Amino acid sequence: MKYFFLLIIMSSFGFMFYKGLKIDPSIVPSNLIDEETPNFQLKKVENYPLFDSKDLLKKEIKIVNFFATWCGPCKIEHPQLMELSSSFRIYGIAKKDNPQNITKWLKSYGNPFDKIGLDNDGISSIEWGVYGLPETFLINKDNKILYKHIGPIMKNDLEKINAFLK
């Protein structure tokens, strides 16, 4: 009986350790899922229309993408954003970037964003719970966060994202 009890305890520990091994510690799940989008203030990027909190009140599904021109993975996801921009409104938040570099970037790779804003001090990124780049939020018609994609959106992620947005 004693050994049976010990076996049960040890196997539960074993099971938990095994489950723990499969968790990717670099991905911190968003604490804002099903919550309303936070308030934020951004700076204008040259001639592009400025993105602000009020834009998210529109009764439609939209995407908010955090990026920077100095971020390598952001370049990898850019074609996927271009593809998504044909079906959804995408708003861009550039983190700690240079407005001239953003203009150059968008002219070279195309502009998937409806509106853009610059978060120079990182405060708006904290407000959204962003800790790395790129990060993408899917927002429903009622201004609630449906899903957060951490890291670059790859071609095989498009199906998952489209399923969320339907």
Partner 1 sequence: MKTILIVIFFLYSQVQSVEPDEILADQELENVARIIGKELRCLVCQNEDIENSNADIARDLRILVRNMLSEGKTKDEIISYIHSRYGDFVLFNPPVRFDTSLLWVLPVIFLMLLCYTFFRKKH
Residues that bind partner 1 (CB under 8 A): 2, 6, 9, 13, 25-26, 28-32, 96, 121-123, 125-129, 131-132
Return d(Cα 160, Cα 74) in angstroms, integer.
19
CB of residue 126 to partner 1, shortest distance in Å: 6
DSSP per-residue letters across 79-133: HHHHHHTTTSEEEEEEES--HHHHHHHHHHH----SEEEEESSSHHHHHTT--SS
In the bound state with partner 1, the residue whose beta carbon lies nearer, of 40 and 51, is 40
In the bound state with partner 1, the residue whose beta carbon lies nearer, of 39 and 108, is 39
CB of residue 149 to partner 1, shortest distance in Å: 16
CB of residue 150 to partner 1, shortest distance in Å: 11
CB of residue 25 to partner 1, shortest distance in Å: 6
In the bound state with partner 1, the residue whose beta carbon lies nearer, of 13 and 46, is 13
Cβ-contact 165, 151 below 8 angstroms: no
In the bound state with partner 1, the residue whose beta carbon lies nearer, of 65 and 124, is 124
Residue 126: left if φ>0, alpha if ψ -120 to 50, beta else—which one? alpha
Question: 134 in helix, strand or coil?
Answer: coil
